[in-house]
Amino acid sequence: MKIIDISKDKGFPEETITRFRRARSCVVLTGAGVSAESGVPTFRDAITGTWSNFNVEEFATPEAFRKNPKKVWEWYEYRRNLLKDINPNQGHYAIAELERIYSDFWLVTQNIDGLHRRAGNKNVLEVHGNIYRNKCFEENTIVDNISVGAEIPPKCPNCGSYVRPDVVWFHEPLPKYEMEKAIEVSSRCDVFIVAGTSAIVYPAAELPIVAKNAGAYVMEVNIEKTLISTQMDITILGKTGIVLPRLTESIMTKVGK
Ligand code: OAD
C-alpha cells in the first residue's frame, strides 16, 4: 500500500507507470467524484430548495414511486434539468483516452449522468442506470420517445403503467448483465483504477478487491482516503480531473508515443 498526495509529489512511482505501460487490459470504476468537477450535484446535494423538506427515501425507492409517482417523476425532471448545461471534464476525457490506449478496456460507472459516453467512452457498464433513459415501472422494458405534453408521469405505450427513470433505486438489485460483466472484466484485467467513489456500497467496495485478488495492479484516485485505501497497491490523493490526465500522459510518454 502506498499513498501519494499529487499536490506534493512530482509524478507517479516508476513501478506504477511500468505496470500501466505493460498492461494489456484496463478496468476503471467511477463514482460521483469524477463528475464533481463538471458541477454535477451529488444525489444528496440535489435535494435542496423546494425539495429540501424531503429525504432520499421519499424519491429513490419503488415504494416512493408507487405512493407518489408524480413527485418522484418531477424530481428526476428537475435533476435532468440541472444536468442540461453540464459537460464532461478533464477526468472524463482522460478515461476516454485510456480506452484508446488499451484494446481491452471497460469502464464501470455508478454515475447516471451519461458524461462518460459524451466524453467518448464506448465500453461502458452503467451499474446504476442512466437518468436520461426511461422504462416501464411494471414491465421493466425501455420506453423511448415520450411525447411532449404527455401526462405526468407518462404511461407505457404497451401496458399503460407508469414510466419511470431507468436508474437503480434503493431496495432494488443492480442490473444483471452489467454486474456479471463488471465482475468478469475485473477478474481478468491487468490494471484497475477506482476513481472518485467513497467505495462504501457494492460494487465500488467489491470490484477493486476482486481485481486485486486476481492479480491486477489496483490504483485508487480520490481527494481523500477511503475505506478501501489500505487494500490498494497505490492511492493517489488528488482531483480526478488533474490526476487522470497526468496518468495518461505519463503512460504515453513512457511508451514513446
Ligand atoms: P459518494 O458521494 O458517496 O462519494 C464521492 C467520492 O468522490 C468521495 O469519496 C469524495 O471524496 C470523492 N471526490 C469528490 N470530488 C472529487 C474529485 N474532484 N476528484 C476525486 N475524488 C473526488 O459517491 P459514490 O461513491 O458515487 O447510489 O456513491 C455511490 C452510490 O451511493 C451512488 O451511485 C448512489 C449512492 O447511494 C444509488 O443511487 C443507487
**Do 199 and 163 have their domain in common?**
no
**Do 244 and 215 have their domain in common?**
yes
**Domain housing 208:** 2-40+88-128+173-254
- Mean pLDDT across 31-56: 76
| Secondary structure (3-state) at 217 | strand
- Mean pLDDT across 78-103: 94
pLDDT value for 96: 98
**Do 239 and 225 have their domain in common?**
yes
**Do 31 and 137 have their domain in common?**
no
Distance of alpha carbon 99 from the chain centroid:
15
The pTM score is 0.93
**What is the tens place of the pLDDT at every residue in 184-240?**
999 999 999 999 999 988 888 999 999 999 999 999 999 999 999 999 999 999 999
**Do 62 and 118 have their domain in common?**
no
Atom of ligand 1 nearest to the CA of 111: 33
- Mean pLDDT across 33-43: 86
**Do 46 and 124 have their domain in common?**
no
Rounded (10°) angle between helices 240-254 and 90-101: 30
**Do 46 and 31 have their domain in common?**
no
Assigned C-alpha cell, 83: 444536468
Tell me how far apart the alpha carbons of residues 102 and 95 are, in angstroms, rounded to a whole number: 11
Give the model's confidence band at 54: pLDDT under 50 very low, under 70 low, under 90 confident, else very high. low
Ligand 1 midpoint to CA 196 (Å): 6
List ligand 1's pocket residues with C-beta within 6 A: 31-33, 36-37, 42-43, 110, 128, 168, 196-198, 201, 204, 221-224, 226, 239-240
**Do 20 and 113 have their domain in common?**
yes
DSSP at 224? S
Atom of ligand 1 nearest to the CA of 169: 39
Tell me how far apart the alpha carbons of residues 87 and 93 are, in angstroms, rounded to a whole number: 11
**Do 123 and 201 have their domain in common?**
yes
Q: Which CATH number characterizes residue 50's domain?
A: 3.30.1600.10
pLDDT value for 5: 85
Total domains in the fold of the chain:
2
| Secondary structure (3-state) at 236 | strand
| Secondary structure (3-state) at 129 | strand
**Do 203 and 214 have their domain in common?**
yes
